[in-house]
Every structure is written in structure tokens, then in C-alpha cells.
Amino acid sequence: MKHLFIKTFGCQMNELDSEKIAGVLSDLGYSLTDSPDSADMIILNTCSVREKAESKCYSDLGRLNELKKERPDLLIGVGGCVAQQEGTKIVKRAPYVDMVFGTDNISDIPGLLEKRREKAKNRVSTERRRKRVLLQDNSIVKSTVLRNHSVKALVNIVDGCDKFCTFCVVPFTRGRERSRKPEDICNEIRGLAASGYKEVTLLGQNVDSYGKDMGGGTGLAGLLEMISEIPGIERIRFMTSHPADFNDNLITAIAKLPKVCNHVHLPLQSGSDAMLDKMKRNYTYAEYKEKITKLREAVPDVTITTDIIAGFPGESDADFNKTLKALEEMQYDAAYTFKYSKRPYTPARTYEEQVTIDVKKDRLNKVIELQNSITLAKNKECEGKEFEILIEGESKRGSVSLTGRTRGNKIVHIQKQEGIFIGDIIQVRITFATFSSLMGEVVGF
């Protein structure tokens, strides 16, 4: 048995791709290891959404080169968005890399390894596939995804993005939107249910535009209805939504379908209309707010999370203060916050009036400080209340506790106790809340 170590950067789409990479390589006799030192092959599944993630890939490669000098047989692969974006540039810059595969090319790994054995020169595969031949086909999907969890699974429903927000590299790395057929998705999920999975998260860069490239028909709301019919699946999540496409049908689906979880991740990016316009987000803050109001009316206990960018080119103090005001008004349960960073191919990288690094840092700190206090207050509101949680595994803190999530996606730790197992859905009362998680006591199972 050969050992494989995969390091995954970035979003859940990359996490799922890593499970597919592990699946393809397990068919070739590789088993996963947690330790790079004992690995025969190391794969970096990279992210290029922000500059920091991309430079991390190159610094990690430098370290792997040192490891390879000690162990020349070690195989090094680079996949994901940096691989897609950079292609052959990676092997030019890091000639010790044995293979490079793009986001559509996981199924090419066996061929790339074969080429390497034959000492062929070309060891890069980043060709974009219109029809995704492998890994969409349900006859093989089960055997080619080596999943990290046993009760919850990631399922992609749409790849790529057509939005072209002016800061974002994703449309260039992941390509145009391609939706999977509803029947393929449902077949995959039926298979997951048969293997004991209770929760699925439907993934896409913009799940709200699911189906548009197939001429309308089943949209996300319709898909949620179809998946709700699948016995054994108890919870359905989806991400990421886009405020311009997030519509009444979806709000109704979340409200009326009991299996659909009460959590929406709806990236705002900025509270300033001028910035939203320059970002090409296609909504104003007032429109966004109206949708949130409707959502909260229809689903009163909904958890809402967001993404915020601080220091987009041209952002003035007044623009930035509108973002702070929006955070106060929206009262998000959590926010992922980023300093704007220039990305290749994107229009915003050429905009004049780039904000200085010091101002960006200062604004990001302010956003984080404000949101942290809101997140803590939101979590504190949970104290004394009861929630249903799905037990996902042992808590990282030690083997004395178990970890689960509420339907609103908040992490809850409970004491281990007899009769409660991974995969169980139980009722807990929250005894204590911190900024990052909740502690609970079991009230029923």
C-alpha cells in the first residue's frame, strides 16, 4: 500500500475535489495518511481566490522540494485553482513537481502518472471540459469519491460561475456555469442515503443560478423539493447563494421543506452601493436588506452568514462606514472577512485608487472586531434554548466530548455519554456559548 497526503486550501468545493482526488488514487492503490513525512505522494489542492492563498502554495512547494531532495521517489502533484490558473508555469517555476492538474482534470491523474513513469515531458493537464465525463457519471461516482465524513457529504450541483464580479478570479479558474442534471444529483444522494449519510450540502459558486444553463426547468427550489423526497436524508444545506439571484421561491422552499436547514450564506461584500456597483454585484444594499427581511419573516430562526471585503479600490471612509453600519443592521451570525487583494485577469486589479495596505489592515480589523462582538452576542442568545443537533464526530478538544451542528449550522460540543453515537440526531439545551461554539447538555435522544 502506498501512502497519499493531500493538503487542501480554500473552499468546500476544493474539499470535495480532494475527496475525489483521494478516490481516484485509492483505485491506484494509495491510502490516505495524515503525515506528509510518511507519504509516497503529496498533493497540494490549491486556492487562488486571494493572493495569500496562492503564495502559500508556492511556499509549500519550496518546502516539498527540500523533502524531495531527501527522498527522490516522493511524488508531488498540484491541483485546484492555482494549477488551473498557472498550468505549465508551475513546472517552470518548480521543476520538481511531478504533475499538475486543473479543476476539471482529476480524472486525468492516472494518465499523468503513467506519463511520468514513461518520463514524458508533458505532465500538465488543465484543459477545460465542457461535458464533465468522469465524476459526474453516477455509475462511478461512488467508487471515486473517498469521503472524509460518514454522516455528512458534499455534493456539487453546479460548477463554475458566470457572474464575473470585478474582484474575483473564480470565473477564470473554474470556468462557466455548468449544472448537473437533477436526476444525476438525486441518484448520487440516494446512494449516499443508502450508505448511511444523513446530511448533504449542495455546492456551487452560485447555487441560486442552478439550472439556468439547462434552460431553466428545475431551479434550486425545485431541486430541494426533489431531494427532500429521498428517504434517509434528514438535512439539506446549500451554499453559496448570490443576493441578486436569491429569490422568493427559494425563501418559500426553505420555509416549507422541513429537511432544508435554516442557514443561508449570503455574501454582502460591502454596504456601499458605489462599491457594490464597482464590484458588479448587481444589487443595492436596500435590495439586499429587503431580501433578508423577507427571509427572516418567512424563517424566523434562520442563521445568516456573509462575506465582506474591506478596502476594495476606491473605498472611502464613508463607503467603509456603510459596511460597518450594514453589519450592525444585519446582525449576521458570522462573517468571513477579507482584505481586498489583486487577482490575475480581474478588472479590479487595474482600477486606480487602490487602497493602501495599512488602511486595508485597519479596516479589516475594525470589521472583525465589530462582527466578533455580534457573533458572540448571537451565540449567547442560544444559551438556555433547545436545539436539534446531528452528531458528526469526536470533538477535536479531546475524546471526552462529541461535536455536532444545529440546523442553523452552529457547532455544539456535548459530553460523551452511553447510547449516543456519531450520526445520531438528538435534542440539546445550550448551557454556555463562546464566540466560536456552543456547549450543550443532552435533553433527549
Binding to ligand 5AD by residue 269, rule CB under 6 A? yes
* Minimum CB–partner distance for residue 438 and ligand 5AD (Å): 25
Name the phi and psi angles at 45, rounded to 5.
-100, 105
**Nearest CB to ligand 5AD, comparing residues 331 and 354:** 354
Stretch that binds ligand 5AD, among 78-86, 180-188, 216-224, 333-341 (CB under 6 A): 333-341
165 interacts with ligand SF4 by CB under 6 A: yes
Instruction: Select 246 or 332, whichever has its Cβ closest to ligand SF4.
Output: 246
Residue 394 binding target from ligand SF4, ligand 5AD, none, CB below 5 to 8 Å by type: none
Q: Scanning residues 374 to 403, which ones bind ligand 5AD (CB under 6 A)?
A: none
CA pair distance 387, 235, nearest whole angstrom: 14
124 near ligand SF4, rule: CB under 6 A:
no
- Segment 202-241, which members bind ligand SF4 (CB under 6 A)? 205-206
Nearest alpha-carbon partner for 186 in 227, 157, 233, 225: 227
The alpha carbon torsion through 203, 209, 214, 219 (nearest 10 deg) reads 90
CB 106 within 8 A of CB 79: yes
HEC string of 214-279? HCCCCCHHHHHHHHHCCCCCCEEEEECCCCCCCCHHHHHHHHHCCCECCEEECCCECCCHHHHHHH
Query: Does the CA dihedral 250-256-259-262 come out positive or negative?
Result: positive
Query: Which pairing describes strands 438-444 and 425-433: parallel, antiparallel, or unpaired?
Result: antiparallel
Nearer of residues 49 and 295 to ligand 5AD, judged by Cβ: 49
Q: Which is nearer to ligand 5AD, 49 or 438 (CB)?
A: 49
Q: Comparing C-alpha atoms, which of 71, 1, 74, 82 is closest to residue 45?
A: 82
For ligand SF4, give the closer residue by CB, 4 or 168. 168
Select the binding partner of residue 171 from ligand SF4, ligand 5AD, none (C-beta < 5 to 8 A, by kind).
ligand SF4
- With H, G, I as helix, E, B as strand and everything else as coil, classify residue 408: coil
**Does the N-terminal peptide bond of residue 126 adopt cis geometry, omega within 30 degrees of 0?**
no
> Which residue type does 154 have?
L
- Judged by CB under 6 A, the stretch of 158-166, 229-237, 270-278, 330-338 that binds ligand SF4 is 158-166
The contact pattern for ligand 5AD, residues 292-311, with x = CB under 6 A and - = no contact, is ---------------x-x--
Chain CA centroid to CA 359, Å: 28
CB-nearer residue toward ligand 5AD: 135 or 266: 266
Name the 3-class secondary structure at 405.
strand
Stretch that binds ligand SF4, among 54-62, 120-128, 163-171, 408-416 (CB under 6 A): 163-171
Shortest CB 197 distance to ligand SF4, Å:
26
Residue 80 DSSP code: H
Report the relative pairing of strands 152-156 and 41-46 from DSSP bridges.
Answer: unpaired
The answer to whether the CB of 155 falls within 8 A of the CB of 184 is no
Q: Which residue is nearest to ligand 5AD (CB)?
A: 307
Stretch of residues binding ligand 5AD (CB under 6 A), selected from 18-26, 217-225, 335-343, 358-366: 335-343
From the list 23, 77, 102, 171, which residue makes contact with ligand SF4 (rule: CB under 6 A)? 171
- In 3D space, the residue among 146, 219, 149, 140 whose CA is nearest the CA of residue 184 turns out to be 140
If one asks whether residue 341 binds ligand 5AD (CB under 6 A), the answer comes out as yes
- For the residues of 148-185, what is the DSSP string, one character each? S-SSEEEEE-EES-S---TT--HHHHT-S-EEPPHHHH
| Number of residues binding to ligand 5AD, judged by CB under 6 A | 12
Helix (H, G, I), strand (E, B) or coil at 400: coil
343 binds ligand 5AD (CB under 6 A): yes
Nearest distance, CB of residue 206 and ligand SF4, angstroms: 5
**With contact defined as beta carbons under 8 Å apart, do 224 and 236 qualify?**
yes
Among 61, 106, 161, 260, binds ligand SF4 (CB under 6 A): 161
Is 242 a binder of ligand SF4 (CB under 6 A)? Answer: yes
Span near ligand SF4 by CB under 6 A; candidates 87-95, 160-168, 335-343, 413-421: 160-168
Q: Is 167 in the site for ligand 5AD (CB under 6 A)?
A: yes
Question: Does 332 participate in binding ligand 5AD (rule CB under 6 A)?
Answer: no
Q: Which residue, 5 or 338, is less far from ligand SF4 as judged by CB?
A: 338
Is residue 49 part of the contact set for ligand 5AD (CB under 6 A)? yes
**308 lines the binding site for ligand SF4 (CB under 6 A):** no
DSSP string, 56-70: HHHHHHHHHHHHHHH
Stretch that binds ligand SF4, among 161-169, 189-197, 361-369, 429-437 (CB under 6 A): 161-169
Give the span between the Cα atoms of 5 and 31, in whole angstroms: 9
Q: What residues make contact with ligand SF4 under the rule CB under 6 A?
A: 161, 163-165, 168, 170-171, 205-206, 242
Q: What residues make contact with ligand 5AD under the rule CB under 6 A?
A: 49-50, 167-168, 267, 269, 307, 309, 338, 340-341, 343
